[in-house]
Chain A
């Protein structure tokens, strides 16, 4: 207990953050030292709802998961941090955007904690949480941010106390595209479908690139057509498998047909969608004249995306900032951190206004803590 207590500076503000906008329930505790401005992570506990292969996570099941695990995770976080609820300055929760039912479960649980312990509430924009945590961990001062996850795909740059969206997806998020393709191939959702696609893609030869659409429009992009095209290729692969099982030749070599494998499919899909993301990020960097790029969100863990982004940034005389799965994937600590930054400027969410919303744009938040 004593060693853990040593981490907390005297007079520090401590915040507890609860995140549950998608299938991860995360509770984190962070301390800000008001004199040095340094933050100390005291706890970062997460539990993920994993659905069986071939299926996605449904809102009602996910909400049920969050409700069942909330108390257990909250206790574990307090224990890991070695603090009592009385030491907290505020309690933060994800106000949105995200899936309705899981958001509501966590909002209700957080309100309960706030009333139980008599602590003020702070509602946090999920996207801003990712950005602030990424900046804190990597030390990137004013980067162009690529926020890529199962629910969001945005290119963001900061200007005049707002995170402004320069480009975004016009339909589904890039992570959603990857997750749904993992469902088509019925590969495991554990620990994450995107992670398993990344591992499969490593087995590809790298010589073949299957033909998929490339949909960039200015600084925006679109992924639904790519998913549909990838699904068609997956169906062709199954036909080839069936032919092979019957003892016929799998491919018509004379017609130039290639043998499609899950690895080649995952590789081609990754190469195509990541090239699109790098392209729109580069365009935003040229537009705002920045050479730093920060990648946040679950897809940001992907090492191939980080490598491509690094190559592009290096050519522009800059570098890429990325974090690992502890901070890229949804977590409570980012909500605690962004919430505490707002709380320090005097921001609080009164109980009567402590709602949550599925629609909450990144540029709606007044970023009072930056100049």
Chain B
């Protein structure tokens, strides 16, 4: 039954076995669940279906309890964000006993891909001018304006999410999408008409699988710390710039930011982990 993970074919969840005009497509397989692309109501409305398959090693009672709880909590947190104006995918449908959650399909690339492409292009430009291309991105000058604007949008989005009492639990640049602006909805300021458009778009936070409702400074600070660590390991050249701008934009978007940022300093000092072990 177990085959090589690269060629492993997973059985489809029951919901995707009904005939449809667009065949379902497996997008990713994480530890917790699988993400499929399908359509909702009309063939022209794409959707994302998150499926949490049963875990056969868990006691069936425990498995059913956990799956149900997690699907419902993810749907509730998404709905709450949506209601309060935090940019997240819209929830279309839920079946917690079958273990799936159907959401709006967000077009565009993850922020991670966009930033890496942008950094690569910048490196190529520097090399073309005869420099090493390993320079730290300082965020000064015209050339870095796009990245600074993007980081500001990230900080603002996280700030708004915290403001409504949700912590994400797994903030990374892979869990943020860069959704192309809808026509006529581009922001009046901060939108660079001259640019190549690589870093343009609305930040949409995705994957609320580990999210919870919390207003504690500690939880919020850990959320920021996880994002900071994830950013440093995926885009080390822009690490310094990231911290400064994120904090700035976060502060503007969220009134209680100073307390959280103070706590963040403590979290940084000890790391996410406790230092004691017996």
- Contact (Cβ within 8 A) B58 A275: yes
Which 3 A-B pairs have CB atoms at the shortest separation, nearest pair first? A317-B5, A286-B31, A311-B57
Nearest-neighbor residue (CB-CB) of B226 within chain A: A218
Contact present for A312 and B57 (CB under 8 Å): yes
| In contact, B277 and A282 (Cβ under 8 angstroms) | no
CB pair A360 B277 closer than 8 Å: yes
Residues A97 and B278 in contact, CB atoms below 8 Å apart: yes
Find the A residue at minimum CB distance from B219: A217
B32 close to A271 (CB less than 8 A): no
Report A-chain residues with C-beta under 8 Å of the C-beta of B274: 170
Does any Cβ of B come within 8 Å of A85's Cβ? no
Q: Is the CB of A214 within 8 A of B66?
A: yes
Bound form: Cα–Cα A285–B30 in Å: 10
Residue of B nearest to A360 (CB): B277
**29 pairs, CB–CB < 8 Å, chain A vs chain B:** A97-B277, A97-B278, A151-B277, A173-B278, A209-B59, A217-B210, A218-B170, A218-B210, A271-B59, A271-B62, A275-B59, A275-B62, A278-B55, A278-B58, A285-B31, A291-B5, A308-B57, A308-B58, A309-B57, A311-B56, A311-B57, A312-B55, A316-B2, A316-B5, A358-B278, A359-B275, A359-B276, A359-B278, A361-B277
A99 contacts partner chain B, Cβ-Cβ < 8 Å? yes
Query: A367 within 8 Å of B by Cβ?
Result: no
Contact residues, A266-283 vs B (CB, 8 A)? 271-272, 275, 278-279, 282-283
Contact residues in B for A272 (Cβ distance below 8 Å): 62
Q: How far is the CA of A360 from the CA of B276 in the complex (A)?
A: 8
Would you call B273 and A317 a contact (CB within 8 A)?
Answer: no
B4 touches A (CB below 8 Å): yes
| Tier of interface size on chain A | 35 or more
Tell me whether B8 is interfacial, beta carbon within 8 Å: yes
Contact B275 A361 (CB under 8 A): yes
B1 within 8 A of A: yes
Contacts of B170 in A (CB 8 A): 218
Q: Secondary structure at chain B's binding surface: helix, strand, loop or mixed? A: loop
| Smallest CB gap from B4: residue in A | A317
Interface residues of A in 330-371 (CB under 8 A from B): 358-361
- Across the interface, do B57 and A275 meet the contact criterion of CB distance under 8 Å? yes
CB of A2 within 8 Å of the partner chain: no
Q: What is the CB-to-nearest-CB distance from B28 to chain A, in angstroms, rounded to a whole number?
A: 10
A97 → B minimal CB distance (Å):
5
Is B61 an interface residue, CB under 8 A from the partner?
Answer: yes
In the complex, which of the residues B32, B58, B273 has the most CB atoms of chain A within 10 Å of its own CB atom?
Answer: B58
Shortest distance between the CB of A361 and any CB in chain B (Å): 6
Contact of A359 with B62 in the complex, beta carbons under 8 Å: no
A-chain residues with CB within 8 Å of residue B32 when the two chains form the complex:
283
Q: Is A17 an interface residue (CB 8 A)?
A: no
Interface residues on B, range: 20 to 34
Contact string against B for A residues 278-317, beta-carbon threshold 8 Å, 1 for contact and 0 otherwise: 1100110111000100000000000000011101101111
Mask: chain B, 53-79; 1 = CB below 8 Å from A; 0 = not: 001111101100110000000000000
State in angstroms the CA–CA spacing of A307 and B58 once bound together.
Answer: 11
Determine if B129 is an interface residue (Cβ-Cβ < 8 Å). no
Segment 127-183 of B: residues with Cβ below 8 Å from A: 169-170
Q: With an 8 A cutoff between CB atoms, is B44 at the interface?
A: no
Q: What is the chain B residue whose CB lies nearest that of A212? A: B62
Q: In the complex the two chains form, what is the Cα distance from A308 to B65 in whole Å?
A: 18
Q: Does residue A104 face the partner (Cβ distance < 8 Å to B)?
A: no
* Contact flag A209-B61 (CB < 8 Å), given A97-B277, A317-B3: yes
Instruction: Decide: B58 and A317 in contact? CB cutoff 8 A.
Output: no
A119-138 Cβ-contact flags toward B at 8 Å (1 or 0):
00000000000000000000
Nearest-neighbour CB distance to chain A for B16, whole angstroms, equals 19
Measured in the bound complex, the distance between the Cα atoms of B210 and A279 in whole Å is 13
Q: Decide: A278 and B57 in contact? CB cutoff 8 A.
A: yes
Q: Smallest CB–CB gap between A177 and chain B, Å?
A: 13
Determine which of A214, A278, A359 lies in contact with B277 in the assembled complex, contact meaning CB atoms within 8 Å: A359
A152 at the interface (CB under 8 A from B): yes
Q: Find chain A residues with CB under 8 A from B275 CB.
A: 359, 361
- When the two chains form their complex, are residues A168 and B5 in contact, meaning their CB atoms are under 8 A apart? no
Closest B residue, CB atoms, query A152? B277
Closest Cβ–Cβ distance, residue A96 to chain B (whole Å): 9
Q: Residue A318 at the B interface, CB < 8 A?
A: yes
CB contacts (< 8 Å) of A315 on chain B: these are 2, 56
> CA A173 – CA B278 in complex, angstroms?
9
Q: Does A194 belong to the interface (CB within 8 Å)?
A: no
Per the bound structure, the CA–CA distance linking A361 and B271 in Å amounts to 13
Shortest Cβ distance from A308 into B: residue: B57
A217 neighbours in B (Cβ, 8 Å): 169, 210
Asked if A165 is an interface residue, CB under 8 A from chain B, the answer is: yes
Q: Is A98 among interface residues, defined by CB-CB distance under 8 A?
A: yes
Q: Contacting B62 at CB < 8 Å: which of A214, A311, A360?
A: A214
| Interchain CB contact under 8 A, A283 and B277 | no
Within 8 A of A (CB), among B20-73: 30-32, 55-59, 61-62, 65-66
Report the nearest A residue to B65, measured CB to CB. A214
Contact of A165 among B30, B65, B273 (CB under 8 A): B273
CA gap between A325 and B170 in the complex, in Å: 37
* Docked pose: A99 CA to B277 CA in angstroms: 10
Closest to A210 in B: B61
> Is the CB–CB distance between B57 and A318 below 8 Å?
no
Residues of A within 8 A of B2 (CB): 314-317
CA distance A6 to B6 in the complex (A): 46
Given known A-B contacts A165-B273, A209-B62, A311-B56, A286 and B169 have beta carbons under 8 A apart: no
Closest to A100 in B: B278
B278 touches which of A98, A165, A278 (Cβ 8 Å)? A98
**Chain A contacts with B in 161-184, Cβ cutoff 8 A:** 165, 168, 170, 173
